[in-house]
Structure 1
Amino acid sequence: MQTSVTFKNLDPSETLKSYVSGKLDRFDKFLDNPAEASVVLSVEKFRHIAEIKISGDRLTINGKEETDDMYSSIDMVLDKLGKQIKKNKQKTRDRRGGKTKLADVMAVEDIVPQQDEAGTTQLKVKNIEYKPMDVEEAVMQMDLGDDNFLVFTNAKTDRVNVLYHRNDGHYGLIQPSN
């Protein structure tokens, strides 16, 4: 994580910089993309104030704490930021998980009759569960099963893909474009 530390009414200290940077590096495992952290450490009379702003991975998180010790201010604001990051990540996981439940809501009946000019045709609706995996893993799943296609979420792009058997014996991959 790229960190910039600013000192106000306080002598710049390399130990405080390394302490904050070390603590902020723990948040890299929660963030998918590189993030930037802006840290402002200040002293006003007897109050030691730590303000941290983390930007990246489509989110911006702010935190501010003040105590009578700079290290405890830093620890407390980092605890706040950790809770906010985890809460935000859980929200995105819940929203992504909601996509699989949408098919259950939409399909009320298994067979929906539709009129055609040549006669009556029937549409069979099949609800499927799909999970995140790589394309290589999806190919192995296809080899294990006897289905003609497999719907999965591509772990690299977080988009729904369809892997299917082609008539020439090879595989085909359908993936949405931007």
Structure 2
Amino acid sequence: MNLTISGHHLEVTPAIREYVQNKLERIKRHFDHVIDISVILSVDNLSEKEKRQKAEINLRLSGKTVYVESLSQDLYASIDMLIDKLDRQVMKYKTRIQDHSRQALKHLSGVESATA
């Protein structure tokens, strides 16, 4: 698994890098088939009162790419919201893959002929 953490108008400090890596452990614990993770942290200076901290992530899985972004006034809060959203999407994808509740065709044809 490749992990890329980059900053846009922001220097990525070792503390921020470690915080993101610790948060991503939760995703790795739930779903192990992650190919590539790209995290982009940015600061948008719209005005003096409104500084927006933005966190984006592209998560490549086998057969799917998940993109999530979050905005907040605090970078750590933005990362927390990002990981929560990502965790929900990964769990949804995992249940979709592991859903084995479909019935075989041979069982469906027998039920249809019995009801007819």
The bucket for the TM-score relative to the shorter chain is 0.7 to 0.9
Summarize the Cα distance change of 1:10–1:32 in structure 2 as closer, same or farther, 3 Å threshold: closer
| Structure 1 counterpart SS, 2:10 | coil
CA contact (8 A) 1:48 1:73 kept: yes
Kindly provide the amino acid, as one letter, of the partner of residue 76 in structure 2.
Y
Relative to the length of structure 1, the TM-score reads 0.55
Relative to the length of structure 2, the TM-score reads 0.81
2:2 equivalent in structure 1: 2
CA RMSD of aligned residues (A): 1.9
Matches of 2:106 and 2:86 in 1, distance apart?
35
- Measure how far apart 1:90 and its partner are: 1.6
Matched, 1:90 2:84: no
2:67 equivalent in structure 1: 62
2:15 equivalent in structure 1: 15
1:81 equivalent in structure 2: 86
Matches of 1:56 and 1:13 in 2, distance apart?
27
Alignment length, in residue pairs? 108
1:115-172 CA distance string (max 9 Å, x none): xxxxxxxxxxxxxxxxxxxxxxxxxxxxxxxxxxxxxxxxxxxxxxxxxxxxxxxxxx
Higher relative contact order (CA 8 A, sep 6+): 2
The answer to which structure has the higher helix fraction is 2
| Structure 1 counterpart SS, 2:33 | coil
- Measure how far apart 1:82 and its partner are: 0.8
* Runs of 4 or more above 3 Å deviation: 100-103
Structure whose CA Rg is larger:
1
CA contact (8 A) 2:55 2:75 kept: yes
Q: Any gaps of 5 or more consecutive residues in structure 2?
A: 46-50
2:108 equivalent in structure 1: 105
